[in-house]
Amino acid sequence: MEKALKKYLPVFTFPTAIAFLIGFIVPFVMAVYLSFCSFTTVNDAKFVGISNYIQAIKDPVFLHSVGFSAIFTVVTVILINVLAFAVALCLTQKIKGTNLFRTVFFMPNLIGGIVLGYVWQLLFNGILAYFNRTLTFSSIYGFWGLVILLCWQQVGYMMILYIAGLQNIPGDMLEAAQVDGATGAQRLFKIIIPSVRPTIVICTFMSLTNGFKLFDQNLALTAGEPSHGTEMVALNIYNTFYGSTAAYRGVGQAKAVIFAVALALVGILQMRLTAGKEE
């Protein structure tokens, strides 16, 4: 058995390894290299050292977008996970139509971000029009608009993961607790939540990275208006790359590398913190 495994190891890992190499390693290495260059087209780059990085961290709009993304991510991670867990709890009770509700709640996740952004823009502006305002009136409007949009889109998806986690809790454990006289709150905090900890780790990680990387919804809903007030990191990188002359492509690239490294660090930190007691 072991021998066969060894023999076929390359056969099974090779395609994935190649895909990983072409789809991730090569672009990532190129991206890091280009962040030290000035370029118009990627295969015609000139090395300029760390000047792109200096310009990137001196850009006040970029720093604002980092702050905006960070606050946005904290708010959405909490809201999405609390709501998704609550909905999942409700839909694992013995009530009628749970399958229908699960499908309905999951569906927004199937719609692309750009479409969602425009649809919600129409909805929000339609309501705000009664007050003679639009989403761009202030960045507070845009912020909560984005929060509502992302929650609506992702709660259903995280709900499915939480449902899977909840269904894995052995029924007899809960029953035993009930027989022993545990209250609903005790069962929730002492049994259910500790049991779904692996799911919580995954869901917070996913909502964390999704929040930071948000792009389509940002572009379609507010496009960063008013005056970069709601511009998130990914959109800022895009605007830097395409909004100016070729000289700024390297700066956009440098921002992207800073962003990727920072996000990886935050992700690792989060995994460490939430998965701490898992073993």
Partner 1 sequence: MFQVENQSWLDNWGQYCYDLSGSFIAEHSTANCLSMEGVEVAAVPFANESYGIIYNVDLLNEYCGLENAVISSPEEINNFSVLKAVADDIQARKDELGVEGAFTSAGLDGSSNWRFTTHLANMPIYWELTDKGVTSATSLEGTHVENYKNLIDLYFTDSTCDPALLSGKTGDDSLAEFCDGMAVFYQNGTWAWTEDGDIADMNIAFLPLYTGVEGEENIGVCTGTGNYWCVNKNSSEEDIQATLDFLEWVISSDEGKETMAGKMAFNVPFDTFADVELANPLFTSANEYEAAGKTAVSWIGTESLPTENWKSELASALIEYSQGTADWSAVEKVFTEDFASEWASR
23 binds partner 1 (CB under 8 A): no
Please say which residue, 104 or 115, places its beta carbon nearer to partner 1. 115
Please say which residue, 228 or 255, places its beta carbon nearer to partner 1. 228
Site for partner 1 in 24-43 (CB under 8 A): 40
* Residue among 225, 266, 270, 274 that touches partner 1 (CB under 8 A): 225
| Runs of H (alpha helix) within the chain | 2-20, 26-34, 51-58, 60-90, 98-106, 113-128, 139-167, 171-179, 184-186, 193-195, 197-213, 216-221, 233-243, 249-275
Pairwise CA distance, residues 105 & 67, whole Å: 30
Burial 232-262 (b: 16+ CB within 10 A, else e): bbbbbbbbbbeeeeeebbbbbbbbbbbbeee
187 binds partner 1 (CB under 8 A): no
Q: Kindly state the tokens that stand for 42.
A: 């990627």
Q: Judged by CB under 8 A, which stretch of 6-14, 89-97, 104-112, 223-231 contacts partner 1?
A: 223-231
* Residue among 103, 242, 261, 273 that touches partner 1 (CB under 8 A): 242
246 binds partner 1 (CB under 8 A): yes
Task: For the CB of residue 27, give the shortest distance to partner 1 in the complex, in Å.
Answer: 23
Please say which residue, 47 or 118, places its beta carbon nearer to partner 1. 118
- DSSP lists the bridge partners of residue 37 as 47
Please say which residue, 133 or 197, places its beta carbon nearer to partner 1. 133
| 3-state SS assignment for residue 107 | helix
Q: What does the binding site for partner 1 look like in residue numbers (CB under 8 A)?
A: 40, 121, 125, 129, 132-138, 223, 225-228, 239, 242-247
